[in-house]
Structure 1
Amino acid sequence: MLPNPTLDQLQVFLAVAESGSFSAASRALNRAQSVISYTIANLEAQLEVPLFERSGSRQPKLTEAGTAMLEDARRIVSDLEVMRARVKGLKEGLEAEVAVAISVMVPTDVMVDVLSEFRERFPSVSMRLNVGELGEMIDLVASGISTIGIGGAIVKQDDSLSIERIGHSFMMPVAAPHHPLARLNRPLTLADVREEVQLVVTDSSGHTKGRDFNVLSYKTWRVSDIATKHHLIRGGLGWGGLPASLIYEDLQTGRLVALELEAYEQGEYPIYAIRKISNPPGPAAAWMLEAFRASLSRCPNLEAFKAQLPFNRSKDAIAAE
């Protein structure tokens, strides 16, 4: 017959193993020591292996089988605690899942920090994460796929949505160090960029259809997402604007060069908190919104960001590559 230990037996086993004695476990669990001993004996009978060495020592010592069982028991009891926390949260109004859409314009370190703390604070809440671009954020929230959105390109007001500015980001025109524009090593004019391929992201949502932002070249390659654009620019296949937070390390290491192009508008790109008015966020989603607001408020402006970057390398350094 297959062993069928109970959760109570596993909890008693853990208490003895972690406290180091049957008497300490009895005090921790507020049970008689005889009950603790009886429970462990029943568990060993169920498993048909000894869990503790009792002879020759006043303190019980885990056997090889007991040591192997310890992690399994911890995992099973931990899963039970997660289930209990989830049920408690549901009773108190805590969401079972938070679905969030986050714009590529949100700095990656901010996103990781907020989601890390979210996991610690709400271990019982599942996460469904969509990363979107431009008008996709509006569509994900409006359609109900995402409960909240962080980012967004607000082209027109939607009365069914609550849209609140909570931070900013900005785009920077860049190119690979071996790209012809980077090799000019001087402020660029419109004439310089007109005949060079500019990489542009197409808005799959259709909200910005027919509208181009900061498209200055006559030659354009249109791609579906920022990640592809990023890789192609680093490969020297064109120039274009990328979120500053995404390319910080590239600029520090010289894999990309910031282009001094006055015609390229580098004003702040607003980041919004978006949600449906008819679907107010629960406690976990509301906490996440406030966490993003607090973190984004500490992001540097464009001038402060540029001040962190190394000086442009000389023409000789670029030519030597």
Structure 2
Amino acid sequence: MKLGEPSLDQIRIFLSVAEEGSFGGAARRMGRAVSAISYGIAQLEAQLAVTLFEREGSRRPVLTEAGKGLLAEARGVADRVDALLAKTQSLHAGLESSVRLVIDVMVPGEVTAGVLREFRRIFPTSALTLNIEGLGAVAACLLDEDADLAIGGPVIGEHPALERQAVGEVELVPVAAPDHPLAVLSREGRAGPDESRDHLQLVLADRSKLTEGREFSVLSPLTWRLGDLGAKHTLLLEGLGWGNMPRAMVAGDLERGRLVELDLPERPGAHYRLSALWRRNARLGPATSWLIDAFRDRLAES
């Protein structure tokens, strides 16, 4: 048996009758005559060679088993077409079809999650690609055209190819495990000048050529370079060294005593300033512009 190809209009009529529970209700919803609704259902049944509604002996159409089985498929077809039309309308309105975002590893995870949750709600038709990088690698993603927008730290100064807009800051604090020698000295108030130089410092490695050879808050000549902030966090908890961490990331550890904030004369902690970065020759669309404002708002609240 060769089946016909139902039209989108016939599928929408089918859904309207099923959802309204009557031909009259479907006619009112779609602004059609009842006869047009009835004809559309008859045509769809002829195309598919099945009976979709039981009509005899009842004033209201009731879905047959075949109708029930096809209802979800019909709804899926209509939803996909609606999504296609919404995305097309967005493109005509200047909304980005996709946004490639790179975020500094220092940005608190709950800030990022909160922003992206709202992004998904407000811009459902814009696909998003997220990358997490550290230090100079954030700006490098932009310069290599692997990202459209970055939320990055202060390690890249004024760059002729990049625009910058301040969005907030993250507090960094020097920490160590409670039994680490620097933690013991800090508790006793005996951490003298240059004491930190005698102990292994865990440092976030910069994978970017942009800032190759530069040091950021490195005090000790004894260092381990780690490419991942999560790995640094784990080694700090294990007492393998000391290092700076975003306060938000270690707040729970400090509260439970798993880590200790170090009181060092050098005051290696800092306010890590964050900026939105984008290429100077790029035009920001509405979704990208919204992300900048959203990160600024969330960081102010955190």
2: CA distance, partners of 1:230 / 1:69: 52
Contact 2:166 2:276 in 1 (8 A): yes
The one of 224, 229, 237 aligned to 1:226: 229
The one of 268, 273, 295 aligned to 2:271: 268
Q: Give the partner amino acid of 1:110.
A: V
- State which drifts further: 171-180 or 81-90: 171-180
Contact 1:173 1:240 in 2 (8 A): yes
Q: Hey, what does 2:33 align to over in structure 1? A: 32
Give the C-alpha shift of residue 201 in structure 1.
1.2
Q: Hey, what does 1:122 align to over in structure 2? A: 123
CA RMSD of aligned residues (A): 2.5
Report the secondary structure of 1:174's partner residue: strand
Structure-2 change in CA distance of 1:158 and 1:46 (3 Å): same
Give the C-alpha shift of residue 105 in structure 1.
1.7
1: CA distance, partners of 2:4 / 2:199: 71
Q: Give the partner amino acid of 2:104.
A: S
Q: Hey, what does 1:139 align to over in structure 2? A: 140
Mapping of 1:153-164 within 5 angstroms?
A: 153-164=154-165
Report the secondary structure of 2:81's partner residue: helix
Report the secondary structure of 1:229's partner residue: helix
2: CA distance, partners of 1:26 / 1:176: 71
Contact 1:82 1:123 in 2 (8 A): no
Structure-2 change in CA distance of 1:43 and 1:179 (3 Å): farther
Deviations 1:189-233 (A, max 9, x none): 456544433211111113333332222334321111212222332
Q: Hey, what does 2:171 align to over in structure 1? A: 170
Q: Hey, what does 1:208 align to over in structure 2? A: 211
Deviations 1:24-77 (A, max 9, x none): 111100111122122223323433443333344322333344333333222221
Any stretches of 5+ residues in structure 1 without a counterpart?
300-321
Report the secondary structure of 2:269's partner residue: coil
Q: Give the partner amino acid of 2:269.
A: Q
Q: Hey, what does 2:18 align to over in structure 1? A: 17
Contact 1:5 1:43 in 2 (8 A): yes
- State which drifts further: 39-48 or 154-163: 39-48
Q: Hey, what does 1:278 align to over in structure 2? A: 281
Any stretches of 5+ residues in structure 2 without a counterpart?
none
2: CA distance, partners of 1:262 / 1:67: 74
Q: Sequence identity, in percent?
A: 43
Structure-2 change in CA distance of 1:267 and 1:16 (3 Å): same
Contact 1:103 1:152 in 2 (8 A): yes
- State which drifts further: 20-29 or 201-210: 201-210
TM-score by length of 1: 0.83
Number of equivalenced pairs: 299
Q: Hey, what does 2:86 align to over in structure 1? A: 85
Report the secondary structure of 1:85's partner residue: helix
The one of 297, 302, 310 aligned to 2:300: 297
1: CA distance, partners of 2:8 / 2:258: 55
Contact 2:96 2:286 in 1 (8 A): yes
1: CA distance, partners of 2:117 / 2:50: 40
Deviations 1:233-269 (A, max 9, x none): 2344333222222233444455444333343422311
2: CA distance, partners of 1:214 / 1:57: 79
Contact 2:102 2:149 in 1 (8 A): yes
Report the secondary structure of 1:268's partner residue: strand
Structure-2 change in CA distance of 1:22 and 1:296 (3 Å): same
1: CA distance, partners of 2:185 / 2:73: 63
Contact 2:3 2:49 in 1 (8 A): no
1: CA distance, partners of 2:261 / 2:53: 65
Q: Hey, what does 2:61 align to over in structure 1? A: 60
1: CA distance, partners of 2:47 / 2:192: 80
